[in-house]
Structure 1
């Protein structure tokens, strides 16, 4: 009985890190997929920066075996662009695509060799798969751990400038235009990336982009002490960047909300920002944060428009037949109580990672039930 509740197509996350194989002290396919179901996600795309990297038919097949055994939602492995994500030799993109892979990404870094990246894009175009781009000029990072500016200066921390992202965003869009590859820009965080995406779309290029809830909910001014739960890549940006991202969502320039769910152990995150790894968890907070911030507080989008950003659009971009409640479609469904108010409690997360800057934050919108292919996911 869903009376008084809101029924939506299951959410689709184009950007998660499930850490398996090899990094199972942070997360596993089992715990990550449980976190996904708890957050209303029925399909997720997991990034290849595992140990070993998902860069070959053998490693892709190994991960698929784990997924078939342990996942309670649809999990789609994303293949690496280069062998071991070293940026030197192309991964076996063709074979992985023939095995059903939907996308490639070097996520966690960019392929700095533009010639090599262009070759990968041509293969992606030929195979009909998407390129998920993490845009970061590694030569400009220089040990940065948060947004460059007065907040970083006050905390005595090295900053990451907007140019780190913007330069590679511009390059990747140009290469997409040249090769015809479908390009999806991951976790955009700057005002100029919104402008670049708008210009690319206006020019008719096959470009789409995502924003994460932390990037439109928080600014670098929310970092008042050295707390690694606020350390993610790209970093929390300035107010003007956040306003541009929100405006991009309002205008439909930024079509997708993804989580970049990046769990780490408490031991890893309980270090200084200078030492701790980048990344926060997001699967179990994304809907409530997005609904509270974009629909209730700022009235940027309606709830049906938010559902498009979290379900319909990502499904279309990735080329999976999901994101719809139309008769005859697969019954991937999420039911939410959109009136329930509560405090986020990281200790109750199904994810092994508790690394969130949102612990204790008041939100609205609680996921009540998640169904995958018509069956309720019991956690």
Structure 2
């Protein structure tokens, strides 16, 4: 069944305030682990609210096949057809989108504004999350959409924050912290990184050449200037570690997970011409460097010393430079945030950006898992090993 996009009442233009709390009354950050959250909208005729919860922990939906990929809505406290209901529900489902849920489900007739078709299960109704959120966004008036768009960068940052937790626990980082990273596993990371870092200025140059948006073109130009010869830092690190630099430069093919990350950004700029989507790759790489990099550098230096190299700083120039340049209030990542705040202004653009973000982050994490897992043959034994 097709639904009219304007089936919901528009959001009023008056000032509204959003509050998101757990059932103890404490504020819940957007990047918090999935749990029941009460979302309140204040400032209209009265406070209205709804609860969003992971479907697998909700009694009415826990037994559903695929519950772990859905979010449930319940306890809607709003008059049926209230003009700001669409905004409230969109805000609640933003949290479900951060949880990477693909469907929304509810047992409550009061949630009829969502236009959820019935499921053949216990009076439940459900729909794909993307189409539902799109209809809700269109049901808001200009002021409501502006309020929602003002949350898009925070939503993207929350998605990346959850990816950073996963990245910090990848096989490569675990080996670093345990003092069991092999030289070959670190060389693999540097060598594969070189495969795409050497192309970054060229991709940025292409973006500059096709960009008609002057502020965005200026951002790419500044980034282009800051990315010059970073591949040379990797080469210097590799030479200090006595790796085969000529192989890396002339003959090496990137490993599959690395090639996936490369393909994401290359396709965005070279095939699709989607410069907002193109920003997702540096958003991921720089964001993870800024968040996770400082946590591994000291332990990485200890691993380098264990391999017999007395000057770890000579083996970590590339990583150290990116932790420094990508992090901080004036780092590359925060500069990208400022640009995205202007570009992410509608639901379709946001959904596409988040899809590219997740694709890039999954590939980036998988690549570091591969640098360790593909080469476990070189992992040093524990002292207790025979």
Give the TM-score category using the shorter length.
under 0.3
Structure with larger Rg: 2
Structure whose residues are more often helix by fraction: 2
State TM-score, norm by structure 1.
Answer: 0.25
State TM-score, norm by structure 2.
Answer: 0.25
